[in-house]
């Protein structure tokens, strides 16, 4: 009998980037812009606090950006008439 698969509720920065199919630098930019929540744990003397992402937040980010485009740059084609 096989063991049940347990889905991780929290993903590391690299796992989250892979899940979103973006690079870690892009993930950092999105996070620092306040567009994606993160979970920070503890204090590290070197200043490298563990940062994790909730899968539900990643899924929400995806659903919020489906079909996203900047409408201010969209110009419909003019009809030749």
Give domain limits for the chain.
10-64
Could you tell me the strand order of the sheet in which 51-54 lies? 10-12, 51-54, 39-40
Does 8 or 19 have the greater pLDDT score? 19
Does position 2 have pLDDT exceeding 50, yes or no?
A: yes
Q: What is the pLDDT of residue 81?
A: 47
Q: Does domain 10-64 have CATH number 3.90.105?
A: yes
- Helix crossing, 24-32 with 13-20: angle to 10°? 100
Q: What is the pLDDT of residue 51?
A: 87
User: Rounded mean pLDDT of the chain?
Assistant: 80
Q: How crowded is the C-beta side of 55, counted as CA atoms within 13 Å?
A: 7
Q: Quick one: average pLDDT of 20-30?
A: 95
pLDDT band at 57 (very low <50, low <70, confident <90, very high): very high
């Amino acid at each position: 009998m096989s063991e049940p698969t347990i889905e991780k509720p929290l993903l590391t920065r690299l796992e989250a980037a892979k899940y979103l199919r973006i690079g870690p630098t892009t993930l950092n930019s999105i996070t620092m812009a306040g567009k994606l929540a993160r979970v920070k744990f503890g204090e590290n003397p070197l200043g490298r606090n563990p940062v994790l992402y909730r899968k539900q937040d990643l899924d929400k980010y995806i659903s919020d950006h489906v079909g996203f485009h900047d409408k201010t740059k969209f110009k419909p084609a003019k009809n030749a008439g």
